[in-house]
Structure 1
Amino acid sequence: MSEADAETVEGTPGRTEVWIEKYRPQRLADIKGHEDIVPRLQRYVERNDLPHLMFAGPAGTGKTASAQAIAREVYGDDWRENFLELNASDQRGIDVVRDRIKDFARSSFGGYDHRIIFLDEADALTSDAQSALRRTMEQFSNNTRFILSCNYSSQIIDPIQSRCAVFRFTELADGAVETQIREIADVEGITVTDDGIAALVYAANGDMRKAINALQAAAVMGETVDEETVFTITATARPEEVEAMVDHAIGGDFTAARAALEDLLTDRGLAGGDVIDQLHRSAWEFEISEQATVRLLERLGEVDYRITEGANERLQLEAMLASLALEKE
């Protein structure tokens, strides 16, 4: 994105802006990492034949940005008047959401065939609420298009899925995240080292919002963004630190493995879930045997389940390391 494009976003000029909004894609062509999805959405816009849409996938992969980009391309400068964004899981209930949808759909259109309603977190709705939403979609299908966003499409009832064209957003590739980081760094005049870029990509794990937020946070720490700054800002352990902990355990040195875990949890401030996520992401990259990797993944699955059920994080992680160390004997 050019510097001129960045300045079209509303807000206070300069570094005080929230970069995830300042550099939010303005058009579908600006969205990175979804070369199979963007052309199909552009085709809908070009033909002026927009169906109900469902965007499913992890956070920070471009679902909301795509919905807003569609609205900008369909309505131009009038997009805010013809685009309603709602959180479908609003604690006030689906009745409030339906009332707002009805009011929006019944209001003036200003020469457009339809308006767009974007429902975020649609998978958090109960089955009854989704049934009510389905009826609302039917009632206003002549002048309203719905875009539903969710993390898991399997949590959406079949009658709604069958009414939507489903697009599955995957975690962004490292190359797409790196390209966006470098573009923002150039516009903002930030020096980012190669190892800093690699650390940002690793910490983001396919989440563009997380990468941009980390870059902005690291940029205020000094003139140069490097690996050390990124790992400190994001409270992320270096891959080699996590690997060393596993190596100690698999090698039978439980004391050293426990000390490494203690450093991650206490000194570095990582949560137990963060440690599990990093172990899972890096498991096949460790320089350990395939058999040891399989054992590690088996233990990770068990620990993750127990922590999810409310077990003590530290105790479960120590038990995992102990079981790996015992198998060496």
Structure 2
Amino acid sequence: QVLRAEIGAAIQRTTPVLLEGEPGSGREFAARVIHFASPCGGAFLAVECAALSPDALELELFGCLTDAVPGAYSDRAGLVHQAQFGTLFLAEIQALPIEHQRSLLALVDRGEVVRVGATKPESVELRVMASTSVDLEREVRAGRFLPELHARLCAGLIRVPPLRERREDIVDWARAFAREHGARLGLDSLSPEVESLLVLHDWPQNLPELSDAILRALQACHGAHERTVRVEHLPAALRELSGARPRRGMLVPPPPPRATPDGTHVAQASQYSGAGPWLVGVPGRDAAAEVAISLREFEKLCLMCALARTKGDKLKAAKLLAVGKSTFYRKIAKHGL
């Protein structure tokens, strides 16, 4: 919810944005959301700062004049020119050399850029967004990053948590990857058991790892001539989780509801009984306090999972959880969903 609120606030502004988080956590995706939801009409252009040499990166970003460098037989526009009225996204900005940081600071502060080989600045109008996976304050203290540029970027700081810290998003991402990868295979369906299992994994490589797991599962499902991805189609590391107990302190979503003879759905009983349903004790915490805190977290996660499974349909989500409509609306209001 915090991430969504910060992205929503950034959409309303035109100032620089710094997206901080682990590689693969979805920082560029968040930047694209901000760009395409904002009123700007220009292009979204991205560059990986660590992928190019300093000289190549300078040409790529700022362009050059004819004969300014060997092989330049005409003026070349940089990404800052091509992103006019749009967004320039600099991935892993900590890899940007200090001299290029000064040029970027001039762009952010004054909207000016000087091409390689030129002496006069040109005016450009665009929004700068960047991502980093390191502590930029430490880079500033080490003299590797300009404090002025850091200050400009941090005015729009957004932390993108890793998947393990936003497990409520895992199913939505898994379904999106299933649609993307499954289009050419003619299938995109994940069983409820698979979706519940995916939430248990920590996904240390974040979205690329989840995407790869879904692709492999779809290929296994297609090879077995089946239409729905089941637990046996998942990579071995994920299949092993099906019989594993959750780690202490970890909140686990409930299993998919089972249908009763009259067609209604009820939640299955927890196999991890203890302080509360689907709760695992946290060492050193008072039992009563643990129940009060964990039950609230559990209730919110159940609501979010139900809304995700029903694609936001509140009536269906209420039925899925076997609660009345008024009770469901009261609870989602309580949790700000």
TM-score of the aligned structures, taking structure 2 as reference length: 0.49
Cα offset, 1:67, TM superposition? 2.0
Corresponding position: 1:121 with 2:121 = no
1:88 and 2:41 matched: no
Contact 2:232 2:239 in 1 (8 A): no
> Does the CA contact (< 8 Å) of 2:188 and 2:218 recur in 1?
yes
Aligned partners of 2:15 and 2:127 also within 8 Å: yes
Indicate whether 1:34 and 2:3 are aligned. yes
Q: Is the 8 A contact 2:45 2:87 kept in 1?
A: yes
C-alpha change, 1:288 and 1:198, in structure 2 (3 Å) is: same
Change (3 A) 1:102 1:181: same
Name the counterpart of 1:202: 200
Alpha-carbon shift at residue 186 of structure 1 (Å)? 7.3
Q: Secondary structure at the match of 1:34?
A: helix
> What is the CA–CA distance in structure 2 between the aligned matches of 1:117 and 1:236, rounded to whole Å?
41
Shift of 1:171: 2.0
Matched with 1:150 is 132
Is this contact kept in 1: 2:87–2:126, CA < 8 A? yes
**Would you say the 8 A contact 2:7–2:34 is kept in 1?**
no
1:241 to 1:174, Cα distance in 2 relative to 1, 3 A: closer
Structure 1 match to 2:158: 167
Query: Does residue 92 of structure 2 align to residue 99 of structure 1?
Result: no
For residues 33 and 236 of structure 1, the distance between their equivalents in structure 2, rounded to whole angstroms, comes to: 32
Check conservation: 2:200, 2:246, Cα contact below 8 A: no
Query: Structure 1 residues 184 and 133, CA, compared in 2 at 3 Å: closer, same or farther?
Result: closer
Q: Any residues of structure 2 matched to 1:164-313 within 5 Å, and which?
A: 164=153, 165-172=156-163, 173-182=166-175, 185=178, 189-203=187-201, 205=203, 207-222=206-221, 223=226, 224-232=228-236, 238=241
Report the CA distance between 1:197 and its aligned residue. 1.5
Question: Which letter does structure 2 place at the counterpart of 1:196?
Answer: V
8 Å contact from structure 1 (residues 56, 63) kept in 2: yes
Q: CA offsets, 1:155-180, max 9 Å, x none?
A: 46332221121111112411111133
- Cα gap change, 1:96/1:140 in structure 2, threshold over 3 Å: closer, same or farther? farther
Question: How far 1:138 sits from its partner (Å)?
Answer: 4.2
Offset from partner CA, 1:169-216 (integer Å, 9 cap, x none): 112411111133346657954442333223323335382343233112
Q: Using the TM superposition, give the Cα deviation of residue 116 of structure 1 relative to its aligned residue in structure 2, in angstroms.
A: 1.9
CA contact (8 A) 2:197 2:242 kept: no
> How much has 1:75 moved relative to structure 2?
6.9
* Percentage of matched positions with identical amino acids: 15
CA, structure 1 residues 182+210, in 2 after alignment: closer, same or farther (shift >3 Å)?
Answer: same
Give the alignment's Cα RMSD to 1 decimal.
4.0
- SS of residue in 2 equivalent to 1:37: helix
Task: Give the superposition deviation at 1:235.
Answer: 7.1
Check the 8 A contact 2:88/2:127 in 1, yes or no. Answer: yes
Structure of greater Rg: 2
Whose helix fraction is larger, Structure 1's or Structure 2's?
A: 1
Q: Which runs of 5+ in 2 are unaligned?
A: 64-77, 113-123, 248-278, 285-337
1:221 Cα offset (Å)? 0.3
Question: TM-score, structure 1 length as denominator?
Answer: 0.50
- 1:243-286: CA deviation from partner (whole Å, max 9, x where unpaired): 99xxxxxxxxxxxxxxxxxxxxxxxxxxxxxxxxxxxxxxxx99
Q: Which residue of 2 aligns with 1:140?
A: 111
Residues 274-316 of structure 1, C-alpha deviation per residue, up to 9 Å, x if partnerless? Answer: xxxxxxxxxxx998977xxxxxxxxxxxxxxxxxxxxxxxxxx
Structure 1 residue ranges without an equivalent (≥5): 1-31, 45-49, 245-284, 291-329
